[in-house]
């Protein structure tokens, strides 16, 4: 059964007195909607692909990260909706919390709904999501061009098949231009920090807070 409120599942999974993650108070953007990929070093390193629509960030966990090669399909597991504030969240989620680990804003920018631009068949993001095929044009700091999210079934067996999607680079002038971006562009698109630096800064801030001193 789906949650009654868009962020109900997100809130249920978190204890906000114990995690620095945002509760969710930011209004939807008035210009182009947000696109963000966050690198998350939790129990397993993965990338969270997020698109803003409907007042939230729709989110998919991509274990191997995005590819810039059209023939490469990457598994993308649908997760709970996140608040728009989360797009700028960078920090460390303490042990004992859901998703414990370090979070980096690996790429950020805006996107266009390509299916809404088709002359013969205009579709909203919600319609595309319900049909199981999303096509967007990314304008990120690292990734640019067309990407498709395609819902699939039967991969790996068991579980909820409706959560399983594929993230695929579409054929355009940006295809293949940035080979293995998760390896060649490993650091934050917001601050230039590595995962190790983000974690170290979070630890210093926590220690300073306990000592009653401001962090550097």
pLDDT tens digits along 59-101: 999 999 999 999 899 999 999 999 999 999 999 999 999 999 9
Q: Quick check: helix, strand or coil at residue 161?
A: helix
- For the chain, give the number of residues: 216
Q: Quick check: helix, strand or coil at residue 12?
A: helix
* pLDDT of 157 over the 60 cut: no
In a domain, 147, yes or no: yes
Residues 139, 64 contacting (CB under 8 angstroms): no
For the chain, give percent helix, strand, coil, nearest 5.
20, 30, 50
In a domain, 108, yes or no: yes
Distance, in Å, from the CA atom of 134 to the CA atom of 50, rounded to the nearest integer, reads 12
Please report which helix (H) or strand (E) contains residue 183, including its range: helix 181-184
In a domain, 95, yes or no: yes
- Tokens 């980096």 locate to 104
Q: pLDDT band for 1, please (50, 70, 90 cuts).
A: very low
Contacts of 78 (CB under 8 A, 6+ apart): 58, 59, 60, 162, 163, 164, 165
In a domain, 28, yes or no: no
The domain of 106 spans: 8-12+33-176
Please report which helix (H) or strand (E) contains residue 211, including its range: helix 195-211
* pLDDT on residue 135: 98
In a domain, 210, yes or no: no
In a domain, 205, yes or no: no
Q: Which of 110-124, 141-155, 162-176 has the highest mean pLDDT?
A: 162-176
Q: pLDDT band for 58, please (50, 70, 90 cuts).
A: very high
Q: How large is the C-alpha radius of gyration of the chain? A: 18
Name the pTM for this structure: 0.90
Enter the tokens of residue 128: 């595309």
**DSSP structure string for 90-136:** -EEEPTTSTT-EEEEEEEEEEEEEGGGS-SS----HHHHHHHTEEEE
In a domain, 141, yes or no: yes
DSSP bridge pairs for 46: 40
Enter the tokens of residue 154: 């039967």
Distance, in Å, from the CA atom of 172 to the CA atom of 56, rounded to the nearest integer, reads 28
* pLDDT on residue 29: 72
Residues 102, 188 contacting (CB under 8 angstroms): no
* pLDDT of 155 over the 80 cut: no
In a domain, 105, yes or no: yes
Q: What is the pLDDT of residues 2-47, one digit of tens each?
A: 555 889 999 999 999 999 999 998 777 778 999 999 999 999 999 9
* pLDDT of 208 over the 60 cut: yes
Distance, in Å, from the CA atom of 113 to the CA atom of 98, rounded to the nearest integer, reads 31
Q: How many domains is the chain built from? A: 1
Mean pLDDT is lowest, of 103-107, 125-129, 150-154, 185-189, for: 150-154
């Amino acid at each position: 059964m789906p949650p009654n409120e868009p962020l109900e599942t997100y809130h249920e999974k978190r204890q906000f007195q114990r995690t620095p993650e945002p509760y969710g108070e930011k209004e939807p953007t008035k210009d182009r909607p947000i696109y963000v990929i966050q690198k998350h070093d939790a129990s397993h390193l993965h990338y969270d692909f997020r698109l803003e629509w409907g007042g939230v960030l729709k989110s998919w966990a991509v274990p191997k990260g995005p590819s810039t090669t059209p023939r490469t399909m990457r598994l993308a597991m649908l997760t709970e909706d996140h608040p728009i504030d989360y797009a700028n969240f960078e920090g460390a989620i303490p042990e004992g919390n859901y998703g414990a680990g370090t979070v980096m804003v690996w790429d950020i920018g805006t996107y266009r709904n390509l299916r809404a631009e088709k002359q013969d068949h205009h579709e909203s993001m919600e319609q595309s999501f319900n049909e199981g095929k999303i096509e967007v044009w990314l304008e990120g700091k690292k990734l640019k061009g067309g990407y498709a999210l395609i819902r699939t079934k039967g991969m790996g067996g068991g579980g909820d098949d409706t959560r399983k999607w594929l993230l695929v680079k579409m054929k355009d002038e940006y295809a293949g231009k940035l080979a293995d971006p998760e390896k060649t562009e490993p650091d934050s698109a917001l601050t230039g920090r590595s995962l190790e630096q983000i974690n170290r800064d979070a630890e210093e801030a926590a220690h300073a807070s306990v000592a009653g001193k401001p962090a550097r």
